[in-house]
Structure 1
Amino acid sequence: MKKGQLGFLTGTHAVNDLYQGAIPAMLPFLMSERHYSYAAVSGLAFAASGVSSLFQPLFGVLSDRKPRTWLVPAGFVTAALGVVAAGLSGNYVATWLCVALAGIGIAAYHPPATSQARAAGGSSQKAMSVFSVGGTVGGAVAPALVTLVIGSAGFDGSYLLAAPALVMAILWVLKGPWMRWRGHTEATPLVTAAPTASAANGTGRTDDWRAFGHLVAVIIGWSIPFVTVTSLVSLHAQRELGRSAAAGAAVLTCYTAAGAVGTLLGGWVGDRYGRMTSVRVGYSVALPALLGIAWAPTFPALVASAALFGTAMFVPFAAQVTLAQDYLPNRPGTASGLTLGLAMAAGGLCSPAFGWLADSSGLRTTFYALLVLFVGPVVMAIRLPDRALYTPEPQSPEPAEATSTGSAQ
C-alpha cells in the first residue's frame, strides 16, 4: 500500500465531493430566496447528479485508454467554478447550467482518481474505504460551509466557496511529481490502457459482464433513494417538522457524516468478514432506516433515522467499487465510470419525478414511495455473486516482467 499517494488522493476526493455536497445544501436557500418549487430544486439535483453521471462513463473509458491524471485537478476545479457561478447567477436556467458544469467536473474527477486509489491501496477493502471516506467527509462538511458562507454573506459571497479547490490545486502542483508512479514496478497500474484479450485469458482474468450488469442494477436502485434523500431531507426537517434552516443543514450534515462512518465500517467488515457481508448487511439495515425517515414524527427521530440510513447506505460502498473492478478486471476505468456514473444517473434522472410527487402529495408520501422502490434493489444486492479479489503477483525488478504484472492489473 502506498500510503502517501492514497492519503493525498483521499484529500482531493474530500475537496471534489465537497462541491457535490454543496449543491443539495444550497437548495433550501434557493427555495427561500429565489422561490423555487420542489420540482425546480429537484431539477437542479438532476443537473448535479444526472448530468454528472451520464458523463462519468465517458471519462472512465478515456482513463482506460491512456493515463490522464490531469483530469483529477481539472475535475474538482471545474466543480468549484460551477458551484460558485450557480450562487452568483441570476435566473433558473443559468443556475441549472452552472450546476450541470459542476456535475461534469465531478464526473471528470472520479474514474481516474478511483483507479489510482485502487492501485495505491492494492487489494485492501480498507484502503478503498479510506479513499471513499474522503468523499463522504467532503460531503459532510459542505452543508456547514454553505450555511456559513451563504447564511452570513448571501449568494454574493459564493466566491468564498472556491477556497478549498484553490488550496488543493496549489498542493497538486507542488506535490505533482510525488504523485507519479516511479520505476518499472510501479508503472501506473489501473490507469494504463486495458490489456489485450490474450493477456487477460492468459491470467484467467476475464470480464464478467453478466454479474457486472446485476451490480449496475443494484447501484441504480441504491442511487435513487440516496440522491432523493440527499436533496429533500433538509427540506423535510423544515417543511414537515417546522425546524429552521440551520436545523435542516444539521440533519443533512448528520446524514452525510454518517456516510463516512459507514464507509470506514464497510471497509473493516469487508477485510475481516468478506466484502459480500458488508454489501448484505448495509442493504438490509438501510431499508428499515429509510422507513424511519418517512415515518419520523419528531426532529430527533428524523436525525437518528437519517444517520442510520447514511451509515447503512455507505457500508457497501467500497465493496461495490472493488467488486465492479473485479467483475471487469481488464477495464477498471470503465467499471468505475459505469458504477459511479451511469448507474448513479438514475438517481438524478428520477429526482425531478420525486420533486413533482413532493409538490403534489407531500414529502412523507415521497419517502414512502422511495421505500417501496428500494425493496427490489435490496433483494438483488443480497443475491450478488462474489468474485475473488485480485492480488498482484510479486514484483520483479526486470522491466519485462514488471510490465507484464502491470498489464495483469
Structure 2
Amino acid sequence: MSIANASHKMGNPVYPIMFAIGVCHLFNDSLQSVIPAMFPVLEEERGLTFTQLGLITFMLNIVASILQPVVGFISDKKPMPYALPLGMISSFVGIAGIAFSTEYWMILVSVVFLGFGSAIFHPEGSRVSFMAAGSKRGLSQSIYQVGGNSGQALAPLISAFILVPFGQKGAALFLIVAAIGIFLLSRISIWYKKELEAEKLSKRKKTIFSSLPPLSKKQVGIALTLLMIIIFARSFYVTNMTNFYIFHLMENYDLSVKKGQLFIFIFLVLGAVGTFFGGPMADRFGRKNVILLSLAVPIPLCLILPYVPIWAVILLLVIIGFFLMLSFSVTVVYAQELVPSKIGTMAGLTVGLAFGMGAIGAVLIGILMDYIGVYKTMIVVSTLPLIGLVALALPTDRKIANLK
C-alpha cells in the first residue's frame, strides 16, 4: 500500500460509536474514581493508615494490570463483543460492595470486582475505538481516553460533594452510573458484533496501517521497553497526585478536604483536556514529537511544585496536568502501531501497565508517607518525570497529516 493512499485505506470514522465508547469510558473510570475519592473518608471513619489505603489502590489496579493484557490477547484471537456489558456488571457489584462494606477485607474484595470490570472494559473499549476510528486514530483514541480521564478527574468532586457529606454509603449513588453504562455498552456490543460479521462475510482482512517505518523485532522490543518506562514514570506521578497529594495540601497549606480536592480536580481536568488534544496533535505532528513534548515541559515544574506558595500551586497544576497527559492516548496508539497485528494486546499492555504501575506506586508512596512523612515523599515523587526523557530514543514516526 502506498503512503499516499494510506489515509483512504483506513476508512471513514464512525463518530457516534467513537463518542459513545468515550462516554462509557467516562462511566467506567468514574466508578474507579470512587476509590481514591473515598480515602479521606476511610481514613477518618475506619482509621486506616496510608499503607492500608495504598493497598486498596494496589488491589484495584493490580487486578486490572494483570488481566488487561490477557483479555487483550484473547480478544485478538477471538473478539468478545458482549464482554463489555459483562465488565460493567462486575463493576456494578464492586460499587455495591464498596458502599456497604463494614470490614477492611470486604473493601479489598469489592475493589477486586472493580478491577476485574476495568480489565475487561479497557482493551475491548480500545478495540471498539480503533475499529470506529478510520483514518482518525489519534482523534478516536483521544475521545476514548479523554472519557476515562474525565471520569478520573471527577474523583475530587466525588469526595468533596458526595462522600464527605454522605460518607461511605454515598458510593451507592454510582450504582445508577453503572446501570446506564451496562445499557449503553449493550448497544455498542450490537454494533461491534455486526462489524465483525460484516468483515467475516465479505472475507476481507482489515488494512492495518502503521505510521512507523519497518522495524526489526529487536527494535520493536526496545521501543516497547522505552514506552513501558515512560508509562511507569507518568503513572507513578499521577497516582501520587490522585491519591495522596490531597494530604500534602492539607498538611502544608492548611486546606480543608473540600478545598484540597478542588486543586486535584484542576490537575485532573487539565489532564483530560491534554489527553483530548494529544491525539489530534500526534496525527498532525507525529507520535514521538508529542510524547517528547508531554514529558519535557513538566519536568522543571514538577521539581519546584513542593516548594511554591499556594497561589503558584494552581498555576503549576494546570500546566503539569495538561502536558503530562498530552501523551496518554498517544502512547496507546504508538504501541498499537509498533505491533499492528495485536491491537487488543497492545491496548491491554499499555493501559494495563499504567494501572499496574499505579498499583505499585500507591503502595510505595503510602509506605514512604508513613515512614518519612508527606512533605519529603512529595519531594521524592517530584523527580519521577525525569525518567520520561528516555523518549528521546524512541523510533521516529511519520506524520499522518503527510499521508493524506
Question: Which deviates the most, 48-57 or 113-122?
Answer: 48-57
1:294 CA displacement: 2.1
| One-letter identity of the residue aligned with 2:38 | M
Q: Pairwise mapping of residues 311-322 of structure 1 onto structure 2 (< 5 A)?
A: 311-322=322-333
Question: Which deviates the most, 121-130 or 287-296?
Answer: 287-296
- Whether 1:310 aligns to 2:321 is yes
Cα separation, 2, equivalents of 1:262 and 1:142: 18
Cα deviation 1:210-253 (Å, max 9, x = unaligned): 32222122212221112122111222222222111111221221
- TM superposition score normalised by structure 1: 0.85
CA contact under 8 A between 1:217 and 1:343: conserved in structure 2? no
RMSD: 2.9
CA contact under 8 A between 1:76 and 1:109: conserved in structure 2? yes
| One-letter identity of the residue aligned with 1:284 | A
**Of 191, 196, 209, which aligns to 2:221?**
209
1:123 CA displacement: 4.0
1:389 CA displacement: 7.6
Structure 1: which 4+ aligned runs deviate by more than 6 Å?
A: 192-195, 203-206
Cα separation, 1, equivalents of 2:379 and 2:273: 25
Cα separation, 2, equivalents of 1:186 and 1:302: 52
Cα separation, 1, equivalents of 2:188 and 2:295: 39
1:273 CA displacement: 1.7
- Whether 1:342 aligns to 2:342 is no
1:100 CA displacement: 2.5
Cα separation, 1, equivalents of 2:196 and 2:85: 24
1:297 CA displacement: 3.0
**Residue in structure 2 matched with residue 384 of structure 1 by the alignment:** 394
- Whether 1:145 aligns to 2:158 is yes
| One-letter identity of the residue aligned with 1:137 | S
CA contact under 8 A between 1:279 and 1:382: conserved in structure 2? no
| One-letter identity of the residue aligned with 1:383 | A
CA contact under 8 A between 2:332 and 2:347: conserved in structure 1? yes
Secondary structure in structure 1 of the residue aligned to 2:154? helix
Secondary structure in structure 1 of the residue aligned to 2:38? helix
| One-letter identity of the residue aligned with 1:133 | V
Cα deviation 1:67-91 (Å, max 9, x = unaligned): 1122222223322431331232112
**Of 72, 77, 81, which aligns to 1:69?**
81
**Residue in structure 1 matched with residue 231 of structure 2 by the alignment:** 219
Q: Pairwise mapping of residues 28-43 of structure 1 onto structure 2 (< 5 A)?
A: 28-43=40-55
Measured at CA, do residues 24 and 289 of structure 1 come closer, stay the same or move farther in structure 2, by a change above 3 Å? farther
Cα separation, 1, equivalents of 2:292 and 2:357: 22
CA contact under 8 A between 1:63 and 1:333: conserved in structure 2? yes
CA contact under 8 A between 2:25 and 2:148: conserved in structure 1? yes
1:172 CA displacement: 3.3
Cα separation, 2, equivalents of 1:168 and 1:343: 23
**Residue in structure 2 matched with residue 51 of structure 1 by the alignment:** 63
| One-letter identity of the residue aligned with 2:169 | D
- Whether 1:290 aligns to 2:302 is yes
Cα separation, 1, equivalents of 2:338 and 2:154: 33
Cα separation, 2, equivalents of 1:50 and 1:286: 27
1:185 CA displacement: 6.3
Cα separation, 1, equivalents of 2:307 and 2:153: 24
- TM superposition score normalised by structure 2: 0.86
Measured at CA, do residues 15 and 332 of structure 1 come closer, stay the same or move farther in structure 2, by a change above 3 Å? same
| One-letter identity of the residue aligned with 1:241 | Y
1:388 CA displacement: 4.8
- Whether 1:22 aligns to 2:34 is yes
**Of 85, 92, 97, which aligns to 2:109?**
97
CA contact under 8 A between 2:17 and 2:188: conserved in structure 1? no
Measured at CA, do residues 307 and 78 of structure 1 come closer, stay the same or move farther in structure 2, by a change above 3 Å? farther
**Of 9, 15, 23, which aligns to 1:3?**
15
Q: Pairwise mapping of residues 220-259 of structure 1 onto structure 2 (< 5 A)?
A: 220-259=232-271
**Residue in structure 2 matched with residue 354 of structure 1 by the alignment:** 365
**Of 324, 339, 344, which aligns to 1:333?**
344
Cα separation, 1, equivalents of 2:315 and 2:331: 25
Measured at CA, do residues 136 and 187 of structure 1 come closer, stay the same or move farther in structure 2, by a change above 3 Å? farther
| One-letter identity of the residue aligned with 2:35 | I
Cα separation, 2, equivalents of 1:368 and 1:273: 34
Question: Which deviates the most, 361-370 or 205-214?
Answer: 205-214
Secondary structure in structure 2 of the residue aligned to 1:316? helix
CA contact under 8 A between 2:292 and 2:389: conserved in structure 1? no
Cα deviation 1:103-152 (Å, max 9, x = unaligned): 22111110011011012113421221111111111122233234333233
CA contact under 8 A between 2:303 and 2:383: conserved in structure 1? no
1:183 CA displacement: 7.9
Query: Matched residue pairs, number?
Result: 382
Instruction: Show structure 1 runs of 5+ residues with no match.
Output: 394-409
| One-letter identity of the residue aligned with 1:101 | F
Secondary structure in structure 2 of the residue aligned to 1:315? helix
Cα deviation 1:155-212 (Å, max 9, x = unaligned): 2332112111111212333564345444876569xxx9999xxxx9xx9797623322
CA contact under 8 A between 1:212 and 1:328: conserved in structure 2? no
Cα separation, 2, equivalents of 1:109 and 1:307: 29
Cα separation, 2, equivalents of 1:205 and 1:329: 12
Q: Pairwise mapping of residues 187-198 of structure 1 onto structure 2 (< 5 A)?
A: none
| One-letter identity of the residue aligned with 1:262 | G
Q: Pairwise mapping of residues 132-171 of structure 1 onto structure 2 (< 5 A)?
A: 132-171=145-184
Cα separation, 1, equivalents of 2:366 and 2:206: 41
Secondary structure in structure 2 of the residue aligned to 1:255? helix
Cα separation, 2, equivalents of 1:66 and 1:194: 18
CA contact under 8 A between 1:121 and 1:127: conserved in structure 2? yes
